[in-house]
Amino acid sequence: NISRSPTAVDVEKWRESFSHLVKSHVGRAVFSSFLRSEFSEENLMFWEACEEYKKSPASQLQSRAVKIYQQYIEADAPNEVNLDAATRDLTKQNLDHACPTCFDEAQKMIYLLMEKDSYRRFLHSSLLQDLCPTKGSRDEGSQQTVAGGA
């Protein structure tokens, strides 16, 4: 659910870098819609859960860590993310001493996966193109010039 429409400036920033996209609440909402269409929304959900987890009071770290692990990491988790065995094992070991950084490796791996894979497809998606029609109009104008000159 996108609470406000993104501006052309927002969209340009998202095109510049994945970092700009995930730092923007509206950007994450738009990207989440795209991931939902690709059936890979769990990646962003996991990344956001890790961001929230880091802000948890110390007294809640253990219980929240277990919930995140059960939701996203353990085999056959409801929203299982794609991690290699070594990262999965490291994260499971980290649960014994839950601290704000216990998901860092897994979170970094999922971030890179989104940045290298989903984000690239997102940049070419009709979802993003439709948000910024002015960019398309400029492109069409330059195409007309090329066509007119041919």
3-state per-residue secondary structure call for 27-73: HHHHHHHHHHHCCCHHHHHHHHHHHHHHCCCHHHHHHHHHHHHHHHH
What homologous superfamily does CATH list for 8-131? Answer: Regulator of G-protein Signalling 4, domain 2 (1.10.167.10)
What is the number of alpha carbons within 13 Å of residue 131 lying toward its C-beta?
26
Question: Residue 28: pLDDT above 50?
Answer: yes
- Average model confidence (pLDDT) for the chain? 87
Q: What is the pLDDT of residue 150?
A: 35
Structure confidence by residue, pLDDT tens digits, 48-104 = 999 999 999 999 999 999 999 999 999 999 999 999 999 999 999 999 999 999 999
Q: Quote the tokens at residue 41.
A: 């929304």
CA nearest 81: which of 103, 57, 54? 103
Compare 136 and 85 and report the one with higher pLDDT: 85
**Domain residue limits, the chain:** 8-131
